[in-house]
Structure 1
Amino acid sequence: MFEGILITKDDAGYRAQLQSIDEAQLPEGDVTVQVAWSTLNYKDGLAITGQSPVVRRFPMVPGIDFAGTVTASSHASWKVGDQVVLNGWGVGETHWGGLAGVARVKGDWLVRLPEAFSARQAMAIGTAGYTAMLCVMALERHGIQPGDGDILVTGANGGVGSVALALLARLGYRAVASTGRPQEAEHLKSIGAAEVIDRAELAAPGKALGKERWAGVVDAVGSHTLANACAGTRYGGAVAACGLAGGMDFPATVAPFILRGITLYGIDSVMAPLALRQQAWARLARDLDPALLEAFTREIPLAQAPAVAADLLAGQVRGRVVVRVTA
């Protein structure tokens, strides 16, 4: 038996509760992991609260991330005692996830924990930070250099935004943070923002083409924010879109793409191939300052995950949240 958050849906309604779970209930998989740490991402908030149909099967253990130790394996790549990290692959949606003491998954989904990080630090990064790294890598592959101009980061107080700011600053870029919480401006500057703007500048319907402001963009918001970010991107620039906190719609025109030759990159962290995941984690180990990571990380026990998930969706959580599962 082990403790975990279990989501159920029946005639009595939708519930996410901490309870004891029998290991015999675990889904199929060729690797079993004792989970030490997990985390809360925006998708976890949706799953736990039921505000969006993220969970596809019931009952379900939420948690799209975990870090821990292999306790059993029939997979050729993994042996007992290996330290591993998992992000995505539908875990916490269609396959039991990381907000429980034990997880059983496919070995192909796992990445070896980088030596540079503890399991806790890996979850302070989590899918949010790993996605931020994928966004930065996309801008780099596009050819955007630090001297080319400002990089806009939307949803800057969130997990993706916080890590993106830290990475961009470490790599020499000038990052501009967009946030709906202007009282957090000094915090955002302390982790890497050179300038902070109010999200209201981007959140309302805008022009098909705006002033050329951004060499590149990391967007975790979508909707009008993404449309306006594209409209304000400089000739030949690029936008890396990875989130939809503001909505799934994209009320834009083709003008920025055909008149300024900008590129919109869709960043998917869930099904990204292993080689790309390994590259992203290697880059995080090289380019992310662990001390700075700690500055925007909050730790909670497993029992608090449902309450904090609701706070996350309400925009009341700064940066990253790590969940102590069995550590």
Structure 2
Amino acid sequence: MSSIVVFGEIQNGVLTQVSAEAITAALSVRESGSQIVAALIGSGISDGAFPIADVDRLLVVDDAQVTGYTCEAFVSAAAEIAKKAGAELIIVPHTSNALEWAPRLAARLNAALVTNCSALEKASGALLATKPVCGGAVQAQYSMTSELKVVTLSAGAFAPAAGGAAVAAEKVAMGAIDNPVSVVETISEAAGDGPSLRTAKVVVSGGIGIGSAGDWKVIEESAKGLNAAVGATRAAVEMGWVPTTKQVGFSGLKVAAELYVAAGISGAIHHLAGISRVKNVVAINSDAEANIFSVAKFGVVGDAKVVLPAFVARVQELRSK
């Protein structure tokens, strides 16, 4: 029986939301008789690690060789899972690790590959995969007709599938591999106190228009006041004001927040590519001609360092009533 294999990702012992989104993507293109097979790679994985509805099977490589991420080990493990599942389509959340190992998996399996997909659909027997190109200015659609296909899925592209009873894990052996890379040390970056940028409903994001590293505290304090995640443009990251994990855009995270407050952000194409699925954009910029206003539902022309704290104070006042 053919199957769609969805590779999930576990962070801090919890299945990530994009893993549930990938199940929704799989369901949207599943044909009659095809199974949805969830897959996990790691060490010490429990039976209940993939509690998402509509999953028919869970295949797990639980091996000391994949305790820490290395590309060769993940490709070897994923290839064994694909073989065991009889995969016709492999869906992988588009993470920094997957961007390395998913293309190598496709090469090893002689499969077609499209990365960073924002939509999937079936038409005339082919899988149509849509992704942003040219810095997000254009949406390109690729027709995948090969027997085996691999896609990486952008976070926020699909709504997460509903939770459900987890199916029992089936262990898949990967065998010993000659891995040229070993993990010497893993250094985790501080997560911070606010919500995760990837899944936050409200995001306060700043750009180069904030002015300086010292002024960046306006973004941090405003986000805290709104119980929001902190985001940033590539320029703000390159200035060293904020770590790369906060970058929103074509080369950063793609967010799907209910509210995105863009402070001191001009609205470059590569940044807009990261907020295309945001429901409401509020823009604050001193330049009335800034491109960010073209996608904003509400806009304020003014100094973000003055307007943003006043906005937060007003929201808190309304919440208290």
Q: Rg: which structure is higher?
A: 2
Whose helix proportion is higher, 1 or 2?
1
TM-score (norm 2): 0.29
Name which structure has the greater RCO, CA cutoff 8 Å, separation 6+: 1
